[in-house]
Amino acid sequence: MLFRDSGHGDRVGEFRGVVGPYWSLRPLGGGVEWEAEPEWVQALTPAERLSAENALRNLRSSRGGV
């Protein structure tokens, strides 16, 4: 599931698990996970999720990925 972390500049990430009092999120296109405070995290709406997934597809396409 995808979430927006308002505590880190509205970064969007995929939920990876719980680490102590924090949630672990990973950027949509991969990369280094970060820890987010649950009170600053919100699930993306269906429209936000679609927009984030399209942005990722466009990025991959521009880099020659599939």
**Who wins on pLDDT, 41 or 30?**
41
Q: How many domains does the chain have?
A: 1
Compute the distance between CA of residue 20 and CA of residue 22 in angstroms, rounded to an integer. 6
pTM of the model: 0.81
Checking if the pLDDT of 13 tops 80, the result is yes
Which range marks the domain in which residue 26 is found? 2-62
DSSP structural state of residue 28: T
Q: What is the pLDDT of residue 29?
A: 82
Strand partners, 59: none
Contact 15, 29 (CB under 8 A): no
What's the token pair of residue 55? 């942005």
